[in-house]
């Protein structure tokens, strides 16, 4: 996920990119990748795009052509069912969005920026062309995509039968662990998503989420003020979440 070195007259969409200078390089690139191999990757990562809050990055049913590496901000994947919108996933820096179209050739969900964000566009057919030439890179990107399908495990621990506080705690732990994996600070985090987005994702009513956040904040495990979350003892938070699933807690 590269850092721009030159912008064209058309703006960020035409920015020249260099993966060698990217602050997220260690997340994308496996150890031992040679400079010549990184130069090949520079030809795959085609452009950086900046998004305003609420801007659609991927339309549902659009042809699948690229993956999007999140550099900054946050995104959500969602589906529309008539008037109802169901949030399926959130995407944070160091993660990939748009991978849902790989198996079908078309996107099944739309991807929307939750806040001002930037992404790197990775042309999928070019990426696959490098699979034999840089197998370590290919395996690393497969791992990132596999991680995207598993990153919400903490929310699944709470289960649809879990109470609202348990589900909110699981969501916040999930957020903290993903930020840690990206090398980002977790002492205080601003939530890019709204209460409505969180409620849709967790399968709860927005009012229920708001009340649960008040009660969770009073517990001392986290402190929540509007969209600001201050994390304390992550191990205590993790234990509180896993207490809803003794089998997983024992496995840890």
Domain that holds residue 237: 153-251
Out of 131, 150, 169, a domain closes at: 150
The tally of domains found in the chain comes to: 2
Do 13 and 114 sit in the same domain of this protein? yes
Do 103 and 198 sit in the same domain of this protein? no
Out of 126, 150, 174, a domain closes at: 150
Segment 180-210, tens digit of pLDDT: 877 788 889 999 999 999 999 998 999 999 9
Segment 63-111, tens digit of pLDDT: 999 989 898 999 999 999 888 899 999 999 888 899 888 888 999 999 9
* Whether 68 contacts 57, CB under 8 Å: yes
Distance of CA 201 to the CA centre of its chain: 14
Do 188 and 220 sit in the same domain of this protein? yes
Mean confidence (pLDDT) of the chain: 79
Out of 119, 150, 181, a domain closes at: 150
- Tell me the pTM: 0.81
Sign of CA dihedral 150, 213, 87, 101: negative
* Whether 208 contacts 171, CB under 8 Å: no
């Amino acid at each position: 996920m590269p850092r721009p070195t030159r912008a064209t007259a058309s703006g960020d969409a035409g920015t020249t990119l260099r993966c060698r200078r990217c602050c997220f390089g260690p997340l994308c690139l496996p150890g031992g990748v040679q400079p010549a191999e990184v130069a090949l990757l520079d030809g795959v990562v085609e452009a950086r795009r900046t998004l305003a809050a609420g801007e659609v990055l991927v339309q549902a049913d659009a042809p699948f052509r690229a993956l999007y590496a999140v550099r900054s901000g946050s995104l959500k994947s969602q589906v529309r069912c008539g008037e109802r919108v169901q949030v399926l996933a959130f995407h944070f820096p160091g993660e990939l969005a748009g991978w849902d179209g790989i198996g079908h050739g078309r996107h099944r969900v739309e991807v929307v920026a939750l806040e001002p964000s930037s992404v790197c566009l990775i042309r999928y057919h070019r990426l696959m062309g490098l699979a034999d030439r840089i197998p370590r890179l290919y395996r690393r990107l497969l791992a990132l995509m596999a991680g995207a399908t598993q990153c919400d495990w903490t929310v699944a621990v709470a289960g649809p039968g879990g109470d609202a506080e348990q589900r909110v705690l699981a969501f916040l732990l999930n957020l903290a662990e993903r930020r840690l994996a990206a090398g980002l600070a977790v002492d205080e985090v601003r939530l890019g998503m709204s209460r409505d987005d969180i409620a849709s994702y967790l399968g709860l009513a927005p009012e229920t989420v708001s009340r649960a956040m008040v009660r969770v904040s009073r517990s001392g495990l986290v402190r929540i003020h509007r969209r600001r979350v201050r994390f304390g003892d992550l191990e205590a938070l993790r234990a509180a979440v896993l207490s809803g699933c003794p089998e997983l807690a024992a496995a840890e």
